């Protein structure tokens, strides 16, 4: 550490740091869509994902398919304003990268230059290997995503656990291997049976980040609002709720409403008085 460097300065976690965590201390990941949430998460997590799940959580969409590139950039830029340490990754939304590697590069480059994020995430397996290779060869780190891929919800017939049958499991294993070999620095493994997530983790050379997968993955990710009790009444099986802030917000707002209606708020402590007794 140089003499000019503050003693309490925290080094930014890079995609290379995440890649090097394979088989080591588990990687802690959560989603954030706003600057205030990013500020709260940043001291505790290794990776913040600005996920296209913001379509569901922030905008009330049924699926992520209506999320636009402009939405991802706006939210990604907000998160980056308060993320000082964590590696921030921004999702590429549906339709912004599937057409060709060239389309993916244009949009990924725009996301990175306009937000300042460290990497982008895209969904898909073997069919996206060429695109991942194209991006990484041109300086854009990629977090891959296999298994249950929400952008393909219509083709999959809904949000169903993946890898239950032998052929399906083999396909997902091939997908994970393909994206790792193409240059992804880590792979999100979502909604697959536990033994398959374990096998993927043991076979590929980059970290796996599980969601609805296995504790054997090299890291775990959840939607922060699920973890905090701010979104949804019916939690997926793989979510553990660590707080119920929704109930606290409900009580706080109810108390505020009661105080306003009873004219208890604002009281003397919350209004401005003229200096010297004037008006």
- Start-to-end CA span in the chain (Å): 57
Binding residues: 52-53, 91, 121, 123
Residue 60 is assigned to a structural domain of this protein? yes
230 lies in a domain?
A: yes
Q: Is residue 264 part of a domain?
A: no
| Average pLDDT score, the chain | 94
Peptide bond preceding 266 in cis form (omega within 30 of 0): yes
Residue 210 lies in domain: 15-243
Among 70-74, 206-210, 237-241, 255-259, the range scoring the smallest mean pLDDT is 237-241
* Binding residue ranges for 3-methyl-2-oxobutanoate: 52-53, 91, 121
207-210 contacts, C-beta under 8 A, 24 or more apart: 207/18, 207/19, 207/21, 207/22, 207/27, 208/176, 209/27, 209/29, 209/47, 209/143
Band of residue 217 on the pLDDT scale cut at 50, 70, 90: very high
Per-residue model confidence (pLDDT) at position 10: 66
pLDDT per residue as tens digits for the range 87-99: 999 999 999 999 9
- Catalytic residue flag (residue 199): no
Is 52 within the bounds of a domain?
yes
Domain CATH for 159: 3.20.20.60
226 pLDDT above the threshold of 90:
yes
In a domain, 117, yes or no: yes
Whether 192 shows a pLDDT value over 50: the answer reads yes
Predicted pLDDT at 156: 73
- In the set 190, 194, 247, 248, the catalytic residue is 190
Q: What pLDDT does residue 3 have?
A: 38
Number of domains observed in the structure of the chain:
1
The pLDDT value given to residue 7: 37
* 168 falls within a domain: yes
pLDDT at 1: 37
Instruction: Write down the pTM of the prediction.
Output: 0.93
206: in domain = yes
Q: Does residue 228 sit within a domain?
A: yes
């Amino acid at each position: 550490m140089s003499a000019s460097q503050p003693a309490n300065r925290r080094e930014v976690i890079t995609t290379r740091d995440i890649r090097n965590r394979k088989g080591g201390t588990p990687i802690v990941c959560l989603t954030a869509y706003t600057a205030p949430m990013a500020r709260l998460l940043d001291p505790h997590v290794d990776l913040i994902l600005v996920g296209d799940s913001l379509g569901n959580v922030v905008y009330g969409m049924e699926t992520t398919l209506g999320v636009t590139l402009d939405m991802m950039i706006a939210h990604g830029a907000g998160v980056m304003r308060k993320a000082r340490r964590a590696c921030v990754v921004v999702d590429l939304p549906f339709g912004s990268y599937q057409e060709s590697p060239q389309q993916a590069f244009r949009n990924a480059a725009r996301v990175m230059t306009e937000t300042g994020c460290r990497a982008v995430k895209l969904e898909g397996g073997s069919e996206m290997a060429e695109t991942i290779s194209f991006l990484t060869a041109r300086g854009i780190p990629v977090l891959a995503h296999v298994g249950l891929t929400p952008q393909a919800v219509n083709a999959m017939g809904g949000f169903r656990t993946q890898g239950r049958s032998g052929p399906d499991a083999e396909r997902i294993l091939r997908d994970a291997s393909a994206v790792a070999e193409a240059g992804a620095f880590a792979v999100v493994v979502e909604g697959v049976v536990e033994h398959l997530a374990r096998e993927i983790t043991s076979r590929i050379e980059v970290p796996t980040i599980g969601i609805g997968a296995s504790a054997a993955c090299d890291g775990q990710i959840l939607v922060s609002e699920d973890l905090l009790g701010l979104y949804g009444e019916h939690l997926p099986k793989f979510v553990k709720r660590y707080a119920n802030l929704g109930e606290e917000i409900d009580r706080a707002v109810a108390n505020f409403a009661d105080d306003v209606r009873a004219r208890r708020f604002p009281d003397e402590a919350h209004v401005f008085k003229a200096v010297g007794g004037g008006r």
